[in-house]
Structure 1
Amino acid sequence: MNAYITSIATSNPRFKIKQQDVLDFMIRAHQLKGVDADKLRVLYRATGILSRYSVIEDYQSSLVRQFFPDNKKLEPFPSTQERLELFQQEAITLCVEAAKRALTTTRAEQITHLITVSCTGMYAPGIDIELVDRLGLNSHVERTGINFMGCYAAFNAIKVADAICTANKGAKVLVVCVELCSIHFQKKAMDDYMLANALFGDGAAAVVVTGKPVTGVNLKTTSFFSELFRNGHEHMAWKIGNFGFEMRLSSYVPDVIESGVRLLTQKLLDKGGVDKFDYFAIHPGGKRILQVIEKELGISKRENQEAHDILSEYGNMSSPTILFVLKRVMDKFNMEDNGKNLLGLAFGPGLTLESMLLTIESH
C-alpha cells in the first residue's frame, strides 16, 4: 500500500533581496575591511545564489532599519524573544498562502490530518491551530508538529503522512513547512555563522498527501531510507541562544555527504525494488553539496538543474527547500512519464541523510 503526493505549492515573503545586497549588509554588520571583506566577497560569489527572500527589509538597503538597531554595532542586538515575536507575526501568512495554493484537488473541509514543520520558530497555540481557523479546516482535524529537525524535516512529514494514508485510504493530509531563517542572523565573526548567513532565506511550502491518486500527475511514495552519519555530528547544529537560534554549518558537510550518499541511494533502490532513477529532487544545501552528489551518483548538472535553480533564486530555506525543488520537477511531468522513478534527497543535523523514492503515476 502507498500514499500519493497530489499537489505542492510554495510561498515567500515580499522582500526579494539580491545576494549582493546581503553581502553589503554583512560587511557593514561585521565591520569588515580589506582582506577580511574580500574573503567574504569570495564566499558569497561561491554560493551560486543570486537572490533570497526575507521577512526583514533591512538586508535590502543600508537606509532601512526595520528590525535591527540603527547603529554600526546593531546594538542592542535583537533577543530570541523579539525574533520569535517576528516569527509569530510573519510565518502564518506564508503558511496560509502556500496551503491555499496546494488545496486544488482537495477542499479544506476534506483534510483529515494536518502536519506542520518548522525549526526557526515556535509558539502555542501554534501555526497548526491558526491554520485550522484561517483555512476553515474541521476542528477535529488530527494535528502533528515536527520541529527542530532542520533541512530534512519535510521528509519526516511526508513519511508520517504516508503512514497515515497507508493505514486509512480515505485520509487526506496537509503538510505545511515554514522557515524564517533570516530572523536568526548572528553577527559573531565565526566561520560557521558566516557560512550560514551566506546561504539561508525564508519560505514556506505545502503538500497534499492522500491515500488514493487523483486525476493528473501523482507521486506515489514507493520507499524511504534514512542514515545517520555520526562523523558529521559537529558539522551541522541548530541551538537556541540568547540572540536567536544559532546555526552551526561547517564547510565539511559536503565531505560527509560525499562519503555516504552512494551507498544510501543504493539501499533505497534495493528497498524499492527498482534499478534506476529517472529524475532527481535534491536539497540544495549549498553549491558544493550539489556538486559532490552529482559526482557520486554519476549525474550531470542538467539532470539536477532544478536544485541549482532553486538555490540560485531562493537560497537554502531549510525544510521547505526540497519541496520547492520537488514542485519544479513535478511541474514538468506528463502522461509519458508514467511509471518513472524520482530520487529525493535531503540532509540535516546529526548528520542525517534522508532519501525517498517516488514513482510517477498519472491518471
Structure 2
Amino acid sequence: MTVYVRSLETAVPPTVLVQTEARDVFAAQPGLTRLGSRLVSTCFDSAAIDTRHTAVQEMTMAFRSDDPQFFDPSTGLLLNPTTKVRNEFFAREVTKLFIESARAAVNACPDLSLLDITHVITVSCTGFFNPGPDYKIVRALGLDPAVQRYHLGFMGCYAAFPALRAAKSFCEADPQAVVLVVCAELCSLHVRTSNDPDTIMGSALFADGAAAAIITARNDPDAPALMQLDHFETVLTPVGEESMAWNIGDHGFEMVLGNYVPHIIDDHIIGALAPLLARDPSLRGLPYRDIRHWAIHPGGRSILDKVQTRLELTDEQLVPARDTLRDYGNMSSATVLFVLRHILEQPPVEGEERICSMAFGPGLTVETGLFTKLRQAATGKRAVQPEAASSLV
C-alpha cells in the first residue's frame, strides 16, 4: 500500500537571532576565559548560520521586562534560570507552535475534514508537560476526542523519522487512517554562557521551529499528494554513544556534541545507508550521487561537509540542507522537515524525483528515509510567523 504526505507546513516564532549579533552578546559575558572567548567566536563564525528564530522575546534589546529571566537587555547579561522556569516557558510557548503548524497542515488539505483525522503524533525533546501537545492540538483544532494520540519525547534530532514511520504503519494497517504528525522544538530555551565547548557549540547552532504533516493512504486526484513514503531504516553506529547526548541539568537541558561526531558519520554513513537502499531494487548498485534529492538534517556545517564528501554529492544536492541551516539553524527534530519542504518547493524536473533523507541523534543513531516527490508544494508558505519578526540586539 502506498502512503502519502498530503501536506507539509512549517512555523517559527517571530523573534530573530542574527548570528553575528548573538556572537557578540555571548562573547561579552563575564566569566569567559580567554579560550572560552576564542571558542565563542570560532563556533558562531564557522556555523554557516545567518539567522535563527527564538521563542524567547527577551533576546532582543527592544524588549523590556521588570523581571527578565533569560536575558537582561539593560546590562547585556545572559541569565541562568532553573530547569523548572525553562520548562514552564516551554509549556506555554511551544503549544503555540504545535497548534499553528498543525492547523496549517490541516488547512492545506481542503478535501479532508478535521473529523477525518484518526491519529495525532507529536514530537519534542526540549521540554515536558501533561496534558501534552497532542492533547492541546486535539482541543484547539476541534478534532474528534477519540482520536488516537501519541507523543515521542526526548529522542533528539532524528525523531521526525520514527514519527513518520509510525504514521506509515498506522496507514498501512488502516487504509482510511489520516495521521497528523507535528514536531516542535524550543532549543533556544537551553542556551547559556559557559566555557564548556559543547555548551558553546549548542549556543551557536540551536534554534526554535515547528513542522507538521498530514500522512494518509487516501489520495484525491483533485488534491494530489506532495510525496510518497517508501522506506525507513534505523542504524546504530558501533561507536559514538558518549559523543552525542542530551541530558537534564539543574539549569536546563545539556547538550553533548563532541567534535568527533563528524568523523563518526564520515566513517559509518555508507554502512548506514546500505540497508535503506537495499529495500528498493531499483537503487541497488546505484551511485549515491545519482539519487536526485538529498534531505540531510543539518546538525552542523561540518556534518554536512562530511556527508557531501563521503557520498560524492554535488553542491546543488546540498542546497536544501545548507539553506535551512543558514536561515533557521538546527531546530532538532523539526529541521529535516524544513529541508524536505525546501525540496518540495522546487519546480519539477524530468524523470523520477527520489529523495534520500537522513538525520542523526544521540546514540549515535542514524535514521534514514527514502521518498518520492510527486508534485511541487505551493511556495511562499514556508515558516509561517504569527507576527512580524524582530531582530536581536
Aligned match of 1:125: 131
Aligned partner of 1:320 among 331, 334, 342: 334
Distance in 2, matches of 1:149 and 1:208, equals 21
8 Å CA contact 2:9, 2:104 repeated in 1: yes
Return closer, same or farther for 1:252/1:58 CA change in 2, 3 Å cut-off. farther
Return closer, same or farther for 1:169/1:307 CA change in 2, 3 Å cut-off. same
Aligned match of 2:391: none
Q: Name the amino acid aligned to 2:161.
A: F
Aligned match of 1:266: 274
Q: Name the amino acid aligned to 2:357.
A: G
Aligned match of 1:221: 229
Aligned match of 1:82: 85
Q: What SS does the aligned partner of 1:159 have?
A: helix
* TM-score relative to the length of structure 1: 0.94
Shift of 1:243: 0.7
Alignment gaps of 5+ in structure 2? 377-393
8 Å CA contact 2:47, 2:301 repeated in 1: yes
Distance in 2, matches of 1:314 and 1:31, equals 29
Shift of 1:45: 1.1
Return closer, same or farther for 1:6/1:333 CA change in 2, 3 Å cut-off. farther
Shift of 1:129: 0.8
Shift of 1:313: 0.4
Distance in 2, matches of 1:340 and 1:36, equals 45
8 Å CA contact 2:78, 2:192 repeated in 1: no
Return closer, same or farther for 1:180/1:62 CA change in 2, 3 Å cut-off. same
Q: Name the amino acid aligned to 1:342.
A: I
**Residues 322-357 of structure 1, C-alpha deviation per residue, up to 9 Å, x if partnerless?**
0000011012253x5564311011000000001000
Aligned partner of 1:357 among 370, 379, 385: 370
Aligned match of 2:307: 293
Return closer, same or farther for 1:6/1:360 CA change in 2, 3 Å cut-off. same
Q: Name the amino acid aligned to 1:183.
A: L
Distance in 2, matches of 1:353 and 1:128, equals 26
**Residues 1:91 and 2:94 are matched in the alignment:** yes
Aligned partner of 2:205 among 199, 222, 247: 199
Aligned partner of 1:210 among 212, 216, 237: 216
Distance in 2, matches of 1:134 and 1:13, equals 18
Moved more, 61-70 or 266-275: 61-70
Return closer, same or farther for 1:113/1:333 CA change in 2, 3 Å cut-off. farther
Q: What SS does the aligned partner of 1:6 have?
A: strand
* TM-score relative to the length of structure 2: 0.87
Distance in 2, matches of 1:107 and 1:160, equals 22
Distance in 2, matches of 1:292 and 1:196, equals 19
Distance in 1, matches of 2:277 and 2:242, equals 29
- For 1:303-342, list aligned pairs within 5 A: 303-334=317-348, 336=349, 339-342=352-355
Return closer, same or farther for 1:74/1:330 CA change in 2, 3 Å cut-off. closer
Return closer, same or farther for 1:4/1:63 CA change in 2, 3 Å cut-off. closer
Aligned match of 2:145: 139
Q: Name the amino acid aligned to 1:241.
A: G
Distance in 1, matches of 2:372 and 2:63, equals 50
Q: What SS does the aligned partner of 1:232 have?
A: coil
Alignment gaps of 5+ in structure 1? none
Shift of 1:266: 2.8
Distance in 2, matches of 1:69 and 1:21, equals 14
Q: What SS does the aligned partner of 1:269 have?
A: helix
Shift of 1:35: 5.9
Shift of 1:257: 0.8
8 Å CA contact 2:355, 2:371 repeated in 1: yes
Shift of 1:33: 6.7
Moved more, 146-155 or 295-304: 295-304
Moved more, 116-125 or 32-41: 32-41
Distance in 1, matches of 2:151 and 2:29, equals 35
Distance in 1, matches of 2:315 and 2:100, equals 31
Aligned partner of 1:148 among 150, 154, 166: 154
What's the % identity of the aligned pairs?
A: 35
Return closer, same or farther for 1:102/1:331 CA change in 2, 3 Å cut-off. same
8 Å CA contact 1:177, 1:319 repeated in 2: yes
**Residues 15-46 of structure 1, C-alpha deviation per residue, up to 9 Å, x if partnerless?**
01100121122123354376642442122111
Distance in 2, matches of 1:62 and 1:21, equals 14
Shift of 1:81: 0.7
Distance in 2, matches of 1:139 and 1:27, equals 49
Shift of 1:249: 1.1
Q: Name the amino acid aligned to 2:297.
A: H
Q: What SS does the aligned partner of 2:374 have?
A: strand
Q: What SS does the aligned partner of 1:227 have?
A: strand
Moved more, 26-35 or 247-256: 26-35
**Residues 146-205 of structure 1, C-alpha deviation per residue, up to 9 Å, x if partnerless?**
011100000000000010001111110000101000001133311111111110000011
Aligned match of 2:55: 55
Return closer, same or farther for 1:252/1:59 CA change in 2, 3 Å cut-off. farther
Return closer, same or farther for 1:112/1:2 CA change in 2, 3 Å cut-off. same
Q: What SS does the aligned partner of 1:245 have?
A: strand
Q: Name the amino acid aligned to 2:188.
A: S
Aligned match of 2:262: 254
Shift of 1:218: 2.8
8 Å CA contact 1:116, 1:176 repeated in 2: yes
- For 1:106-121, list aligned pairs within 5 A: 106-121=112-127
8 Å CA contact 1:161, 1:173 repeated in 2: yes
